[in-house]
Chain A
Amino acid sequence: MLLYGTGEFPDWGDPYSPASVHLSNDYLEKAFDQTQVPNIVTAVLADYRGFDTMFETAVIFTAGLACFLLLRDFREKEERFYRHTATGVILHVKDSQKVLLVEREFEHMDKDWVPSDLIIRTVCRIIIPFIQIYGLYVIAHGDFSPGGGFQGGVILGSSLILLAISYNLKTLMRRVKEKILGIYAAVGVLIYVGIAVICMPMGGNFLDYSKLAPLLPSDPHHVRALGMLGVEIGVGIAVTAVMVIIYVNIVSAGRHDEGL
């Protein structure tokens, strides 16, 4: 039946097929003038169809919340965890010693545990900051090149996951508290919704960035682009937090103590 429908498809790549003529030309020809954003995909994503993207972020938030709700298991909070936080007072100075301490305690907790390689660890420690900078770049530069809040958020999230994989889960959870993650996930989406809602008392419709002009210290011509940037940052924060939440909950089956 699917193939039956294929029979009348316009040829692949036909520039005059209805799909590429009706609406897309409007987007292509007007988007830059109206929004000052050269990447039309971002322009359409965050402005013309910004409402979709808002709910897309809500979907992500839902997923994080769902994973938390399904797997999080508060029962077995071990005292070990506190001991770790106690050792982690000094940062960066005695890094190797701190790691050694963690390792010794880990061996009796987790029977699948394998000593991790020094090379992997060092390399990861060096590249993680670069990955994070790249993630930030992708978020901020989404207007001009491929990328945007979502991709950048995923990159940031995966840099944190890499930290968990190369060291261990506790190292990650010590640096990024669960509470912080939960709050960031909600705040990220709230930034998006907040920007959208502020447009209403300013006299516009929901999400109408152009009405933000009086609030922003810049050329009113660029105000839509700035609005999109704000929104992308919100998306980035939410996605980063949610990716880590999902990973942490799955890998430790909700205990947040041991895991890959």
Chain B
Amino acid sequence: MYWPIDLIVLTFVIFCAIAAITVKDLLATAILFGAYSFMMCLLWAVMGAVDVAFTEATVGAGVSTVFFVAAIFRTSRRTKD
């Protein structure tokens, strides 16, 4: 494992997590959450859990985000926090 890449991915994971829960637009939350899942998936692929990474890529970054956007489409984008 090449440590600078690792460090960058780790930073991104935490950054995306914090950003996803702080932005005030739910659509942005959805996209940041997708990015978070994808970073997580990279992290797992680096750790050798390819099956888990594959699942996370399809589920976390793919289908969850779509469900998310669908739910926002049916509710509202606005949020107070």
Please say whether the chains A and B touch (CB closer than 8 A): yes
Interface residues of A (CB under 8 A from B): 39, 41-42, 146-148, 150-151, 154-155, 157-158, 161, 165, 243, 246-247, 250-253, 259-260
Q: Which of B62, B66, B74 is in CB contact (< 8 Å) with A253?
A: B74
19 A-B pairs, CB-CB below 8 angstroms?
Answer: A41-B51, A42-B51, A147-B54, A150-B55, A151-B58, A154-B59, A155-B58, A157-B63, A158-B58, A161-B63, A161-B66, A165-B66, A246-B67, A247-B66, A247-B67, A247-B70, A250-B71, A251-B70, A260-B70
A-B contact count (CB 8 A): 50
The verdict on A251 contacting B73 (CB below 8 Å), with A151-B54, A151-B58, A154-B58 known, is yes
Counting CB contacts under 8 A, is B23 at the interface? no
Quick one: which of A39, A154, A246 has the most chain B CB within 10 A? A154
The 9 nearest A-B residue pairs measured at CB: A251-B70, A146-B50, A154-B58, A250-B70, A41-B51, A146-B51, A146-B54, A253-B74, A260-B73
Interface residues of B (CB under 8 A from A): 50-51, 53-55, 58-59, 62-63, 66-67, 69-71, 73-74
A247 cross-chain contacts in B, Cβ below 8 A? 63, 66-67, 70
B73 cross-chain contacts in A, Cβ below 8 A? 251, 259-260
The answer to whether B51 touches A158, judged by C-beta atoms less than 8 angstroms apart, is no
Distance A158 CA – B53 CA, assembled complex (angstroms): 17
Distance A146 CA – B44 CA, assembled complex (angstroms): 13
A147 cross-chain contacts in B, Cβ below 8 A? 51, 54
